[in-house]
Amino acid sequence: MTFAHPIEQLIKQRFSCRSYLNQPVEEQTRLRLADYAASLQTGPFGARMRFELVAAREDDQKALKNLGTYGFIKGATGFIIGVMRDDEKNLEDFGYLMESIILFATEIGLGTCWLGGTFTKSSFSERVSPRPGELIPAVSSVGYCAKKPRRLGTLIRNRAGADRRLSWEKLFFDSRFGVPLSRKAAGDYATALEMVRWGPSASNKQPWRVVKNRNIWHFYLQRTPGYRQQWLVKLFTVADMQRIDMGIAMCHFELIAREHGLDGHWEIIAPDIEKSEELTEYTVSWVG
């Protein structure tokens, strides 16, 4: 993954764009995004998947026929559709790779919005002909973002608390849960953590937690109680969104670490750290 702009800038620039200009994405830009999306096939855990861009062209605006978003997204002229198999840690890999496509789209001037629930599953499925056992856990709308967010967009933004993120103290810990990590103690990794905090997450629940142990960074999923049982979530989503959120956090962390010249790799090492709450699940560690 190589980007022309500083990753921090792209992460800060991205937001959930729910209203687009009625103008197909220009051919050159469309091809660059389609090529980038198609080039990503395996995430850090090795799960295999594929991503396709379906987008309207100047001469064919019907490309998106039947691709619906239940009215949540207005005027998107394209969608990135990802299909994954039933592999171990597939949702984390999905989040990781899709987020890197979203940052690439941001870099080339496009607006995006992650959609884990509000997309018409069967019509999207028809476009990418999934094989038996394959699933589309989420898609992203793309297009030129309209300057003025429409009312519904504004409403959702406020309700989901898009401009609100949990404080650093609630997300990052020193050696064990309950001991907040200071920015100073985070050292060279402070920006990588801050960019985890800036990540998008389903319903803005921000379920990622990181515990530092010397130069190892343990990533935990702090599940939102009852989230998957909520009727709207149950009705609309097909996959475990919070595992996708975790992959997004890994993507931001690794991109910033690499950009800052901090070498490391992902490893599942089951650390001996007492979990703070019942719904805390260990995912992976970045070994620096």
Ligand X SMILES: Cc1cc2nc3c(=O)[nH]c(=O)nc-3n(C[C@H](O)[C@H](O)[C@H](O)COP(=O)(O)O)c2cc1C
Nearest to 14 by CA among 154, 142, 116: 142
Alpha-carbon span 248 to 186, nearest angstrom: 20
Q: Is 151 exposed, middle or buried (0-12, 13-18, 19+ CB in 10 A)?
A: exposed
Q: State which residue, 202 or 221, has the beta carbon closest to ligand X.
A: 202
Least Cβ distance, residue 145 to ligand X (angstroms):
11
Among 104, 114, 173, 227, binds ligand X (CB under 6 A): 114
Alpha-carbon span 215 to 222, nearest angstrom: 22
Among 67, 102, 241, 249, binds ligand X (CB under 6 A): 241
Q: State which residue, 56 or 113, has the beta carbon closest to ligand X.
A: 113
**197 to 216, contacts with ligand X by CB under 6 A?**
200-204
Stretch that binds ligand X, among 85-93, 143-151, 196-204, 279-287 (CB under 6 A): 196-204
Among 1, 21, 54, 156, binds ligand X (CB under 6 A): 156
Q: Is 168 in the site for ligand X (CB under 6 A)?
A: no
Nearest to 123 by CA among 102, 142, 139: 139
Alpha-carbon span 252 to 249, nearest angstrom: 5
How would you write 54-68 as a 3-class SS string?
EECECCEHHHHCCCC
Count of residues that interact with ligand X, criterion CB under 6 A: 22
Q: Is 37 in the site for ligand X (CB under 6 A)?
A: no
Q: Is 64 in the site for ligand X (CB under 6 A)?
A: no
Alpha-carbon span 2 to 104, nearest angstrom: 9
Q: Are 192 and 215 in contact (CB under 8 A)?
A: no
Among 53, 138, 181, 246, binds ligand X (CB under 6 A): 138
Q: State which residue, 89 or 212, has the beta carbon closest to ligand X.
A: 89
Strand 78-84's sheet: what is its strand order? 49-55, 78-84, 139-143, 111-115
Least Cβ distance, residue 120 to ligand X (angstroms):
12
What is the full DSSP assignment across 261-284?
Answer: T---EEE--------SSTTEEEEE
Alpha-carbon span 263 to 261, nearest angstrom: 6
Among 7, 33, 110, 115, binds ligand X (CB under 6 A): 115
Q: Is 247 in the site for ligand X (CB under 6 A)?
A: no
> Which structure tokens are listed for 195?
């960019």
Q: Is 78 in the site for ligand X (CB under 6 A)?
A: no
Least Cβ distance, residue 288 to ligand X (angstroms):
26
Nearest to 106 by CA among 265, 264, 251: 251
Q: State which residue, 117 or 264, has the beta carbon closest to ligand X.
A: 117
Stretch that binds ligand X, among 32-40, 42-50, 122-130, 244-252 (CB under 6 A): 244-252
Among 244, 246, 249, 284, binds ligand X (CB under 6 A): 244
Q: Is 177 in the site for ligand X (CB under 6 A)?
A: no
Question: Where does this chain bind ligand X (CB under 6 A)?
Answer: 15-16, 72, 113-118, 138, 156, 160, 162, 200-204, 241, 244-245, 248
